[in-house]
Structure 1
Amino acid sequence: MFSSDDKVAEATRLAEQHEFITSGLGFLIHPVIEHHINDYEAPVRIADISQGLQFPPNNDPRLPRCKLETVRMSIKDVVHPDGVQEYAGMFHVVAVRLAHLIIGNRDWNTAVDNLISLLRPGGWIQWTDWDPRTARIAGVKPGAEDKALRNLLEKYSDVLKEKQVGTTYRISSSFTEAGLVEEDSDMYPLPPDSGLTSNIAHGALRQLETVGSVGSGEIQQLIRGVDKEIEAGNSLIWYDLWCHIARKPKQSKRS
């Protein structure tokens, strides 16, 4: 069990990660979607489905100029067969972030169906997530120590493979299979950064601790080694960030 301090620290880490993501993308709402919604006179309803809060206050200049109504929804609700039934067909935009590591194979189809059911005809889904299986080390200095970071990434990759999660490619293919149109997927390589490395590394450490794949003693040893290498600033983690968008047909056979 995580303490209240642990939960606060995790909320802070997620908030920082959202800022890294938004800065890397250069937008909160994909420009293609923003082009379609900016001239709406009625409020644009957005479902925010993510770990942490992906959207800042409404006065943030990075938001579209149209009036927005954002409804926060839980990923846990999305994987439940009837979890979002009351919101069916209500949203112009469904914005998903940091979700594919939580949604396992068993719940994947249910989650995709539920996400699409939230959309109004002609509505857009935007799904932004890391590709954790492409994690790699960027050596700032030749020969820099990176043993702890590599050990962490190997253990983390093993957990993802065992749980069969973390593959971003299935997002776009699921959109197509579900009958969505105007699908587009773009990769945004974020430059290596010590702050991002620390954020990603501690998220991976928390995941290892949560699933119990390594003991508490080994976790503490990993934390010390990883923090030491990050503080030296000579070895950094580099991930690919993906943003997938698609549109629900205006005349759809699906709910």
Structure 2
Amino acid sequence: MASTTPDYVFTRDYLDNNRMNLQHYQWIALFGYLLHPVIPTDRANLRIADVGTGTAVWLTELASCLPDTVKFEGLDVSMAAAPPAQWLPANVILRHWDIKEPVPSELLGAYDVVHVRNLAFVLRGSEVPAVLERLVSLLRPGGALQWGEPDVSSFRIETVTALRSLLTLSQPQDDRLRPTWVPQLPKLYRAAGLAAVEEDVRDAPSHLALAMHECNLPIHELVARKSKNKAVIEAVQDLMPQVKAETRQGACWAFTRWIVVGWKNSEDK
């Protein structure tokens, strides 16, 4: 059974919800789509799952673009960030599921499309193969898995003073803040039996990279608050004014971002 107090590296509050929502729109601005263009949406009885749905912003935006006959389901270990059920479109439902736990029997082979994004700070590299196996088991034969992540190991910083110090201060607070597995996703897809694997790997143009950088800056304050370590909290508070000044001078914490799509073979059960 999933824990009643899920282990999450950030806080669950309005500040983090706003960060996630803004991050979503920046992501779409970079890639230009919600669903990869190779994924068809004209199937009868289409059923789509958003795993780790968070604020459900991806799910509700896609629901506004597709017919109301499509069924959308947001799955997450916690619904603390999601809208109340009565505020959602009629064809959008939310349900609890921890991706580190077995898949409920009624969800096996249930979906035409499974979408996942921004679990880089949730999963350790050793957990990814088992999670990927569970995600594949959610798919109907011929279904598609779309997974998007920032490659944190690709970060580049032009100015190496306060901004690098902030990163050095935050990352040791939790080993999930140093993920290196994202570039391995295509290989892991193939190992999990997915076919026709495609990857879309992008670096943001400078103006968008800056906006994404500023969207990510609250992460360090959230991590410090979550740690409850007074020395870390004070150090972050001391560094932030310097980081903000460096940002205005052209410093930017930038990442390469990935979307990987793969297909469950039609003959697979």
Which residue of structure 2 aligns with residue 250 of structure 1? 266
Structure 2 CA distance for partners of 1:68 and 1:122, relative to 1, 3 Å: same
The residue type paired with residue 28 of structure 2 is T
2:203 is the alignment partner of 1:203: no
Give the whole-Å Cα distance in 2 for the aligned partners of 1:43 and 1:18: 27
Unaligned runs of 5+ residues in structure 1 are: 139-144
CA contact (8 A) 2:125 2:181 kept: no
Residue in structure 2 matching 1:109, options 107, 113, 129: 129
Give the whole-Å Cα distance in 1 for the aligned partners of 2:154 and 2:170: 12
Which residue of structure 2 aligns with residue 185 of structure 1? 199
CA contact (8 A) 2:111 2:143 kept: yes
Cα distance, 1:208 vs structure 2: 5.1
Give the whole-Å Cα distance in 1 for the aligned partners of 2:117 and 2:14: 20
1:136-166, Cα deviation, whole Å (9 max, x unpaired): 135xxxxxx6522122234455567677634
Residue in structure 2 matching 1:176, options 186, 190, 197: 190
Which residue of structure 1 aligns with residue 238 of structure 2? 221
The residue type paired with residue 188 of structure 1 is R
Give the whole-Å Cα distance in 1 for the aligned partners of 2:28 and 2:128: 25
1:166-204, Cα deviation, whole Å (9 max, x unpaired): 421222221110111001112111123432211122224
Question: Number of matched residues?
Answer: 237
Q: TM-score, normalized by length of structure 2?
A: 0.76
Q: RMSD value over aligned CA atoms?
A: 2.9
1:180-231, Cα deviation, whole Å (9 max, x unpaired): 100111211112343221112222442355356862111212333223333x
Residue in structure 1 matching 2:16, options 10, 13, 23: 10
Give the whole-Å Cα distance in 2 for the aligned partners of 1:220 and 1:117: 44
Q: TM-score, normalized by length of structure 1?
A: 0.80
Which residue of structure 1 aligns with residue 253 of structure 2? 237
Residue in structure 1 matching 2:161, options 124, 127, 147: 147
Secondary structure, aligned partner of 2:206: coil
Give the whole-Å Cα distance in 2 for the aligned partners of 1:111 and 1:6: 23
Percent of paired sites with the same residue: 21
